[in-house]
A and B are shown apart, each in its own frame.
Chain A
Amino acid sequence: MSTGEGAGAAGTGPMESGAAGTGPVDTGSVLLHATDVGKRFGGIAALTDVNLVVNTHEVVGLVGPNGAGKTTFFNCLLGILRPDSGIVTFRGIDISRMPTHKRARMGIGRTFQRLELFTGMTVREHLLVTERSRRGTGSLWKDLLNQGGPTDDEHAAAQETIDLVGLGAEADKPVESLSLGRNRIVELARALQLRPSLLLLDEPSSGLDRKETHALVDVLHGIQQSQGTAVLLVEHDLEMVVRAVSRLYVLDLGRLLTSGPVEEVMADPNVREAYLGSMAETLSPTRGDS
């Protein structure tokens, strides 16, 4: 429980400083480095030797057709799935064997493609719980002495996140009563509450209309500007990808097709064939199933 504890209360400046205090940042600007990650489900090779780097402060895109293995890759990064092979380092530390909650506490926040919310809680409660677990200050003994409730500090931190993502009006409503679009924002807020230095976003815009998507991109930009959070973005909405990211990885059938600056990748004929061609129809704004 040593990591992340030093992070002070509200207003300690850029979130980077809070989370980065414990780990060495001596790998230059490389934040996350996945080497040769492989994962099979029975006969299906969901991931084969995927290499990916995310630098600090950077917004990187990860795209690919359905079933390419993007979600599986996220799960491997966070330890929700155990990859069969490969190494993941975060801030220079090998996290391949770490349990999920420790990776989260090191500063990796994520959202889910299929909503994974704490049903029954309000938005604020989501954030208060996450704030508490991030601090790692909860213990059964404190609870038994009735010292387990949210502190003023934690309330302030939660309120800060609520204001940041603009959930003020819904803060005290149970998440079940919110729309899918708002719930995506709740997930984002919950991930941000970890004060991550890396955000993994799994199709944050699915189920959002165009206006909401734009607002989301603005929020992301804001966070990235003010807090220097790096983002790895999985997204089918290429319009959003182009607006948001600087570098792009393309995954197909579990293999990396290409990577590089957005314009270069978009111009690549292989990518056009494997992915963009099939994306033509899904680019329409009415897409919003999930």
Chain B
Amino acid sequence: MEDLLVYIVRGFPAGCVYGLVAMAIVLTYKTSGVFNLAFGAQAYVAAAVFYKLGKEHDWPIGVAAALAVLVVSPLLALGLEYFIFRHMRTQPLVVKLVAALGLLTALPEITKLWFGKEIKNLPPSVAPSPDRLYKITDRVTITQDRLVTVIASLLVFAALTALFRYTVLGLRMRAITESPRMVELAGVNANMVSRVAWTLSGFLAGLAGVLFAHTEPQLRPDNYTGLLIVSIAAAAFGLFKSIPRTLAGGMIIAIVGGQMIPGWLGVERTITSYIRPSFPFLMLFAILVFVPGIRQSRETTDPLAGVDPPPPALAASYRDAQLDRLTRKILFPAFIAAVLYLVLFLLPGLWVSRVTEGVCLAVIFLSITVLTGLSGQLSLAQSVFAGAGAFTVGQLSERYGWNPLIGLLFGALIAAAAGALVALPAMRLGGLYLAVATFALALLAQNALYGRDWVGGFAGQVDIPRPKAFGIDFGEDKPFFVLCAVILTLLSYAVIFVRRGSTGRFLFAMRGSETAAAASAINPVKYKLIVFAFSSFIAGVGGALLGMYQGVASTGFEGQSIFSPFYGLVFVVLVVTLGVRTIQGAIVAAMSFVLFPLLLEWLKLPIEFSLILFGFGAITFARHPEGIMEANTRKSVLRAAENKANPRLARKRRLIAWAMMCAIAVPVLVRSATRDAGATELNVGFTVLPIECGTAWEAYTDFDPEGVDAAQRPALHSACKTEARKHFTHTSGIKLWDYGGAWKALFLFLFGFLRFSPSLIDGRRQGGRPSDESGEQVPGPTDREEVSV
């Protein structure tokens, strides 16, 4: 009996915090239809303000907390509502979801700009002497910090209950959460209600953020992402509508999952260390999959809940036939040849390395093109499927000495099996719930599997060798680049073929109407399984390649690993923003992910800007649901049609285009011409990373390079490079910009991609022959496109 009391007292404070965030989620979801995943980030922002003022600037703790909770956080929420989400009200759920995901990635990075990147230890507490103990019974005690958490939360819950019960505004909000449509019909100003709800939610999230800060040893954004998902589990327990049940859900997670189950199992046991953090994700997944009420309540009450119509045909398929032949037969091969030449022969070795990373990522991104682009489903677990591929290769070659190429195939198959397993229960879910469920699974995998030595290795990382096959040593950068490029090409064509073939056409039909597809003898279950498995297979290949490129796959201590669920979010945001239906969307997304930090470095801007820009890019998604690349193509096709009809306009446009090209190209050429001489010489003999390589070299040779046998040198040399690469992949302190070739390369690359790629690779009509009618029937929201970009 007393045990139970202990569990309750220990779990209660955490339950309160989960309840606060969960309430914020439910409030905004019900009043404005936005499932705001950014609350995790908003709570983090509040905590950061609190930390900065309270700990670093020594403000009185109460003032710091009040400012963070009562001012900053509500204003932030209101700002998001006013500037972003208000404009998305009529957009499909998925658009809002991606925008929120973008914010979830961007907000913490913005925060870092003023908050600092360094590790923030020992966050303060709102309580004056947080660690003081109060006795409840002889054995049961509670710290002051927790007591304050409980009291503050209970006060807020009481105040909110009163608000909902006794005020008109509260009544309206409650009514909206019950039936949004009825309230609109009754003439309540939903705008106003929604704004109040957002402000209130901001306050709740901020309070949760500040109260949560002290419970973790460090203040880190990923803790708050975890908090967010746990709170979603609580909200799911309330079926995303009942606030009392939501609070109960929070308590169950904190008390049952956080205290009781570990208590029964034994706190010290290994199994507990896996189950305890996994509990909320398991619960979330189970609720989403097994409670039918969640899906149905939405479908029958929400006027916006219908199936999103599938997008129009790819714009490139409406292209002028002559232009089509030109791009396909001449421009595209020329562009590829130019890129290969630059990367393989002209540029310093580092560029090979960087572009290779981009190619590996592009393979992973291609998996999103398959899943989201073909079937319209959103999975946030792609980085974990990639991880499955990477860890498998590493384990197979480390433990059993398999050839990494065979390991790669095997890893991809394991990823595919995992994908199919996810698809089975997730089959009935769609849109939002599928996205959340996959994210829960991703976190589950990270918590329950990554730590196992047969998955993530003993020290949280697995070494991954590069293959030797067909008499080629892919340990060298250039052969490896070629290998990756070949695999990317093969998979791209596979995706194009699948899209054009039965599978792609069936999936497209299912997007239009699943019922009608089934009534037309298409088996929806089978094709959902296929698309999930195929997509995860590709992610597995990409992950294995990326692991080989890095030489190591790490499980991500502190959330840094590319295979952690956080990157699953980033990937989706990035690919969806740039264009999820085309191959070039995936490739450009990958290249920007890799090259953008270099550009920032060159511009002497903080590296955080890249995630910030990608995050905010997601917001443009609302304007171009087909992705920026596709929007550009559409525009160019439209313009081509206009040009044909109106030669004078065409001439004017051509003039402007040339002027702009010259304005950019001339300075570049001048600068590179004047600096080329020295630069090319430096290129010669440049291998890899002088500094790290040197250190590794010394370590390998016992600091006596001279004592090494000349015959062993090549082997040692490549071992050093492998070692050095591990250190290098995520630090880029090397000066790439001193080389003339780099200049040219960058501009050719960016220009080539931006100018030509939108229409380069894919775009034939689904299943049909290419349309020979010139742009006359370009579909889509054409007038809107003209305003933007």
Interfacial residues, chain A to chain B (CB-CB below 8 A): 4, 78, 80, 99-102, 104-105, 109-110, 112, 116-122, 124-126, 128-130, 132-134, 136-140, 142-150, 172-174, 176-177, 187, 190-191, 193-194
- Does B524 count as interface, using CB distance less than 8 angstroms? yes
Which chain A positions have C-beta within 8 A of B508?
A: 118, 120-121
Which residues in chain B, 598-641, are within 8 Å of chain A measured between CB atoms? none
- B494: nearest chain-A partner, CB-CB: A144
Which residue on chain B has the smallest CB distance to residue A187?
B516
Q: Which residues of chain B from 552 to 603 have a CB within 8 Å of any chain A CB?
A: none
Contact (Cβ within 8 A) A120 B516: no
Point out the residues of chain A lying under 8 angstroms from B779, CB to CB. Answer: 174, 176
Contacts of A194 in B (CB 8 A): 520-521
Complex Cα–Cα for A258 and B296 (A):
35
- For the complex of A and B, 8 pairs with smallest distance between CB atoms: A148-B501, A138-B502, A143-B501, A118-B512, A116-B516, A100-B518, A116-B513, A104-B521
Q: Apart from A80-B515, A125-B768, what 19 extra A-B contacts exist at CB < 8 Å?
A: A80-B519, A99-B518, A99-B525, A101-B522, A104-B519, A119-B513, A120-B309, A120-B312, A126-B509, A128-B767, A132-B502, A132-B506, A136-B521, A142-B502, A143-B503, A147-B501, A148-B501, A148-B503, A187-B516
Are A143 and B521 within 8 A (Cβ)? no
In the bound complex, do residue B520 and residue A174 qualify as a contact, i.e. CB atoms below 8 Å apart? no
Name the CB-closest residue of B to A4. B521
B393 CB to nearest A CB, Å: 22
Structural contact, B311 and A149, CB atoms closer than 8 A: no
Contacts of A136 in B (CB 8 A): 521
A143–B497 contact, CB under 8 A?
A: yes
Is A100 touching B519 in the complex (CB atoms < 8 A)? Answer: yes
Q: Given A101-B523, A119-B310, verify A138-B509 contact (CB < 8 Å).
A: no
Are B767 and A125 closer than 8 Å at their CB atoms?
yes
Smallest distance from the beta carbon of B504 to chain A beta carbons, Å?
7
Give the total number of A-B pairs whose CB atoms are below 8 A apart.
149
Cβ contacts under 8 Å, B494 to chain A: 144
Q: Which residues of A sit under 8 angstroms from B522, Cβ to Cβ?
A: 101, 129, 133
Q: Does B203 contact A (CB under 8 A)?
A: no
| Chain A residues positioned under 8 Å from B767 (CB to CB) | 125, 128-129, 149-150
Instruction: Find out whether the CB atom of A148 lies under 8 angstroms from the CB atom of B500.
Output: yes
Instruction: Tell me if A140 and B498 are in contact (CB < 8 A).
Output: yes
Using a Cβ–Cβ cut-off of 8 Å, how many residues does chain B contribute to the interface with A?
40
CB-defined A-B contacts under 8 Å, sample of 19: A78-B519, A99-B523, A99-B525, A101-B520, A110-B519, A118-B509, A119-B309, A120-B311, A120-B313, A120-B508, A121-B508, A125-B767, A126-B509, A132-B506, A144-B498, A144-B501, A146-B500, A150-B768, A187-B516
Cα separation A134 to B777 with both chains bound (whole Å): 31
Chain A CB within 8 A of B517 CB: yes
> Chain A contacts of B530 at CB under 8 A?
140
Kindly state the separation between the CA atoms of A180 and B104 in the bound complex, as whole angstroms: 43
B768 A124 Cβ-Cβ under 8 A = yes
Known contacts A78-B519, A124-B768, A140-B530: A129-B312 contact under CB 8 Å: no
Q: How far is the CB of A169 from chain B (nearest CB, A)?
A: 14
Chain A residues, CB < 8 A from B519:
78, 80, 100-101, 104, 109-110, 116, 191
CB nearest neighbor in B for A3: B521
Contact assessment for A144 and B521 in the assembled complex, using a CB-CB cutoff below 8 Å: no
**Measured between alpha carbons, how far is A234 from B506 in the docked complex, in Å?**
28
**Cβ of A118 and Cβ of B521 under 8 Å apart?**
no
With a cutoff of 8 Å between Cβ atoms, the chain B residues found around residue A138 in the complex are 501-503, 506
Contact A129 B520 (CB under 8 A): yes
Q: Which residues of B contact A4 (CB under 8 A)?
A: 521
B505 at the interface (CB under 8 A from A): yes
Cα-based distance from A133 to B500 in the complex (angstroms): 15
A154 to chain B, nearest CB (A): 10
Query: Of B498, B523, B771, which is in contact with the most chain A CB atoms at under 10 Å from its CB?
Result: B523
Q: What residues of chain A lie closer than 8 Å to B497, measured between beta carbons?
A: 143-146, 148
Instruction: State whether A122 and B768 are in contact (beta carbons under 8 Å apart), knowing that A100-B518, A194-B521 are contacts in the complex.
Output: yes
In the bound complex, CA of A139 to CA of B504 (Å)? 11
Kindly identify which residue among B500, B520, B524 contacts A190, using a CB–CB cutoff of 8 Å.
Answer: B520
B768 CB contacts on chain A under 8 angstroms: 122, 124-125, 150, 172
Cα distance A138–B500 when bound, in Å? Answer: 12
Which residues of A sit under 8 angstroms from B12, Cβ to Cβ? none
CB neighbours (8 Å) of A129 from chain B are 505-506, 509, 520, 522, 767
With the chains together, A101 CA to B497 CA distance in Å?
Answer: 24
Residues of B within 8 A of A122 (CB): 768
A116 to B502, CA, bound (A): 20
B51 at the interface (CB under 8 A from A): no
Given A80-B515, A100-B519, A125-B766, the answer on whether A174 and B312 have CB atoms closer than 8 Å is: yes
A109 to B523, CA, bound (A): 15
Q: A118 contacts which of B500, B504, B517, B534 (Cβ < 8 Å)?
A: B517
From 293 to 313 in chain B, residues with beta carbon under 8 angstroms from any chain A beta carbon are: 309-313
